[in-house]
Structure 1
């Protein structure tokens, strides 16, 4: 399984970079899935809908399916959040899984960094960060790319993982 992360502090440009990378890499003929960590409670369900009613009634899992997609919702209730490895194991096989967040896990990552956000870099103390995508030149011992140079960032990620740059 080929995994590469996009990490950084809030407002660093992670989600935009993820979106552009998925577009770029799938356009090259590779299959991509994503996994995003949320630091807060979230809901993909809507109050009043049947699936929401099932979940609120106490169902441990609710699988919602249609002819265009399906979604499996699992209620953790009072159990701990599953580790990244357990979540990755639930995904179907693809060429690449891009992971947004999960700063503390050990998979290789690129750090998104915007100077205007005013946050410190994570890279100086984290060897899992292999490169920086930034809007300002930095003095570091890692490759740097402009935050908007999606093609170069995709080339770096695919090369790092030994995947073909295009099919």
Structure 2
């Protein structure tokens, strides 16, 4: 599986870019999965539901399945967060995995950047950021794309990974 990341600070447009890239790339007949890092506690389950009650009772893992989808929830119960490489091994094989976050990992990335956030660019200090997708004109030592030019960003990523 090929891996490519989208990084950037909060409100930089990462999730919107990820969504558009998945639509664009799968529309070209390439299979895609995504992996998103969350910096906060999150829950995909809901209090009162059976699967939630199983986890609250102490289950290490709960697999919820239906005729439409399945989800495997694992509780760390105080263990360290698994590294990206371990999480990637849990995914079924696809052509491309797009990773949102994990900006400190060594995989190649595109940085989403919006000037209005007031955050600094990650790219100048990080050679794994291979390009920047921005809402403002930038002069850098690597490609800069318009944040909304999804097709061009997809072309760049696919060329980078050889798809």
TM range (shorter): over 0.9
After superposition, where does 1:111-130 map in structure 2 within 5 Å?
Answer: 111-130=111-130
Deviations 1:69-121 (A, max 9, x none): 00000000110000000000000000100000001000000000001111000
Please name the residue that 2:17 is paired with.
Answer: 17
1: CA distance between counterparts of 2:59 and 2:81?
17
Structure 1: which 4+ aligned runs deviate by more than 2 Å?
A: none
- 2:128 and 2:94 map into 1 onto residues whose CA distance is 22
With normalisation by structure 2, the TM-score equals 0.99
SS of corresponding position for 1:25 = helix
Q: What is the TM-score of this pair, normalised by structure 1?
A: 0.97
Superposition RMSD on alpha carbons, in Å? 0.4
Structure 2: segments with no counterpart, 5+ residues = none
Tell me, in whole angstroms, the C-alpha distance in 2 between the residues paired with 1:10 and 1:139: 22
Equivalent residue pairs, number = 163
1:27 and 2:27 correspond: yes
Matches within 5 A, 1:141-156: 141-156=141-156
